[in-house]
Amino acid sequence: MFLKQVNIHSEKFPVLNYYPFKLEIFQNTETVKFNSPVTLFIGENGTGKSTLLKAIAYKCGIHIWQSEFNLRCEKNPYEEDLYKAISTQWKNGPVTGSFFGSQIFSHFAKNLEEWAVNDTKMLNYFGGKSLITQSHGQSLMSYFQSRYNIKGLYFLDEPETALSAKKQLELMKLLGQTSRNGKAQFIIATHSPILMACRGAEIYSFDEVPIEPIRYEQTDHYGIYKDFLDKKEKYLNERKQYKV
């Protein structure tokens, strides 16, 4: 365990009518504590889980790769400023780490390939193989298995996006193994009920105000998936009723 808690200082919000500062969940949450080596942020889209994840990473001094395509018709001037209104508490001082986002991984892999042209030893840090010559899921697991054996604080934003159910199980096991040996701490925004089942993980729900811990069996993800698998025909029949 490296990072103990994050404090959100709503009195430092520059505005209250722009995202993310307009979200009630940030206006009414003072502290998020990290009591487990694996912490999961869950909630519906737009609830702020990825935004807080990035803000904490920025505050911890961790670089976030930017996508090649970052042009937008409209720009929110406050979109990435949440980190300015939070503070961190460490157990024994800051540690290094990394931020993973599925949308920017391909950009990183292409850059790594260009570096490896001049120094093939660069690939040794990521399993010894080119990341772009493997399938997306395989390249992700090569990256995870190599990177997360190094001591550090790791942020993952929806890592399940390009992973099959089997690969998600592999990642879940990796998270458990590396966190138990004291090498790594993980903070993850996810929709995956498989990753949420990581042994000993603490789950924070962004669906209610303020941000609060929730048990795995209480999550909508667990309930909806379980109900669907138990009553598949009911859901399929409901869909037929509305088919045009």
Tens digits of per-residue pLDDT, 62-101?
A: 988 776 555 566 788 899 999 999 999 999 999 999 999 8
pLDDT at 136 over 70: no
pLDDT at 142: 79
pLDDT at 192: 97
Provide the whole-model pTM.
0.88
The tens digit of pLDDT for each residue in 17-45 reads 999 999 999 999 999 999 999 999 999 99
Please, are residues 220 and 207 in contact by the beta-carbon 8 Å criterion?
Answer: yes
In the chain the domains, ranked by start, together with CATH numbers, are: 3-213 (3.40.50.300), 218-244 (no CATH)
The tens digit of pLDDT for each residue in 124-135 reads 656 666 655 556
The tens digit of pLDDT for each residue in 140-174 reads 787 788 889 889 999 999 999 878 999 999 999 99
User: What is the average pLDDT score of the chain?
Assistant: 87
pLDDT at 244: 42
The tens digit of pLDDT for each residue in 209-224 reads 999 999 999 999 999 9
Quickly state the pLDDT bin for 180 (edges 50, 70, 90). confident
3-state DSSP of the chain: CCEEEEEECHHHCCCCCCCCCCCHHHHCCCEEECCCCEEEEECCCCCCHHHHHHHHHHHCCCCCCCCCCCCCCCCCCCCCCHHHHEEEEECCCCCCEEEEEHHHHHHHHHHHHHHHHHCHHHHHHHCCCCCCCCCHHHHHHHHHHHHCCCCEEEEEECHHHHCCHHHHHHHHHHHHHHHHCCCEEEEEECCCHHHHCCCCCEEEECCCCCCEECCHHHCHHHHHHHHHHHCHHHHHHHHHHCCC
